[in-house]
Amino acid sequence: MERKLEENLISRKKETESSWISGTKKVKPKSKKTNNNFWVIFGFMAPALLIYGVFVIYSIVMTFYYSLFEWTGIDDNLIFAGIQNYITLIQDGVFWTSVKNNFLLVAASLITQLPLGLIMALLLFSPIKGMRFFRSIYFMPFLMSTVAIGILFVYIFDGNFGIVNQILGSIGLDSLQRSWLGNEVTAIWAVIATISWQFAPFYMILFRAAIVGIPEELYEAAEIDGANSRKKFFNITLPLLMPTIVTSSILSIIGSLKYFDLIYVMTGGGPNNATELMATYMYEQTFTNFNMGYGSSISFSMFIIAFMVIAVILIVDQRRKGVN
């Protein structure tokens, strides 16, 4: 891979050089400089390109390659299967459950994390005392490792001594007590609540950074015109936050489509695939059932789905900009 990249770089460079030289005659000394330039650029970029090329680009290509084989992953016995894995995948109910759950997660993340983050960020600019303290605590969930969060919330949602059940009991809602993660209906919502807890602070800091960037004069001018705080929010803050909202949505959607850690720790995709996501299903097929070829086809489908979703967002965003 390294060599390929090098060759590619060199050949491209040669092309540009030769065309340049044939174009004008006087450039001999300059062409030497271009040549020097190439080695400088190459020297600076080669290490990063090598690592990136091997672990990201080569790997994506190889995922597609492996997805065309039947392969346990234990030995080197790859049997070419064409698109058989994809045909199986399309008929695989569990895969569609995982896709559905992934999109549920996307939707739930968008409607919980972003507004929650925005409310927190706005609160940070309101005239209340001890803001630094509030901000410090608000942000903490995002620093904890996902595995630690997963384990912590397994105990919080526990059916016997979990604090969720304790609170329900103490306010007389005993009938609602249950093993939240053991129940096929509630498990996904418990997980979504946990994910919102983890990521809302992240969007808080994004919105905070954006609000800081809004010029104070705008609010002053609005005040002179007699705008109340609600008007100020809807006519100044919100429109100016639009780019951040788009960025945050993209991050949230990408994040939700590749979610893995928390589900793996909290439910393992269960009970009965109720919380299965594409990534957990891929992991299960690949490293538990040793269907590496099939796992690769799930992997590659994830890549395609994520790619399409991002493309749609970017196109919609371009349109929106065009309209304005």
Find the binding residues for another protein in span 3-42 (CB under 8 A). 9, 12-13, 16, 37-38, 40-41
CB nearer another protein, residue 29 or residue 217 = 29
CB nearer another protein, residue 221 or residue 319 = 319
CB nearer another protein, residue 21 or residue 254 = 254
CB nearer another protein, residue 9 or residue 214 = 9
Burial of 178 (0-12, 13-18, 19+ CB in 10 A): middle
Q: Does 288 bind another protein (CB under 8 A)?
A: no
In a 3-state reduction of DSSP, which class is residue 307? helix
Closest to 98 (Cα-Cα) out of 206, 240, 215, 256: 256
Q: Does 142 bind another protein (CB under 8 A)?
A: yes
Residues with Cβ within 8 Å of residue 144, at least 6 apart in sequence: 152, 198
Q: How far is the CB of 138 from another protein (least distance, A)?
A: 5
Q: Tell me which residues in 64-103 interact with another protein (CB under 8 A).
A: 66, 73
How far is the C-alpha of 284 from the C-alpha of 271, rounded, in Å?
14
- As given in the structure block, the two tokens for residue 166 are 């304790």
CB nearer another protein, residue 188 or residue 257 = 257
Q: Tell me which residues in 179-208 interact with another protein (CB under 8 A).
A: 197, 200-202, 205-206, 208
Binding mask 233-272 for another protein (x = CB under 8 A): -------------xxx-xx--x--xx-xx--xx-------
How far is the C-alpha of 157 from the C-alpha of 136, rounded, in Å?
25
Whether residue 271 has a cis bond before it, omega within 30° of 0: yes
- Per CB under 8 A, the list member of 24, 30, 51, 319 interacting with another protein is 51
CB nearer another protein, residue 214 or residue 251 = 251
Query: To 10 degrees, the CA torsion angle through 122, 250, 193, 301?
Result: 180
Q: Does 164 bind another protein (CB under 8 A)?
A: no
CA separation, residue 51 to residues 54, 59, 274 (Å):
5, 11, 38
- As given in the structure block, the two tokens for residue 273 are 């695939």
Q: Which string of DSSP letters, residue by residue, matches 46-87?
A: HHHHHHHIIIIIIHHHHHHHHTTEE--SSSS--EE-TTHHHH
User: Rounded to an integer, what is the distance from CA 32 to the centroid of its chain?
Assistant: 45
Q: How far is the CB of 206 from another protein (least distance, A)?
A: 5
How far is the C-alpha of 144 from the C-alpha of 198, rounded, in Å?
8
Using the contact rule CB under 8 A, the part of the chain among 21-29, 90-98, 178-186, 297-305 near another protein is: 297-305
- Per CB under 8 A, the list member of 126, 175, 228, 324 interacting with another protein is 126
Q: Does 123 bind another protein (CB under 8 A)?
A: yes
CB nearer another protein, residue 110 or residue 154 = 154
CB nearer another protein, residue 232 or residue 258 = 258
Q: Does 143 bind another protein (CB under 8 A)?
A: yes
Q: How far is the CB of 180 from another protein (least distance, A)?
A: 15
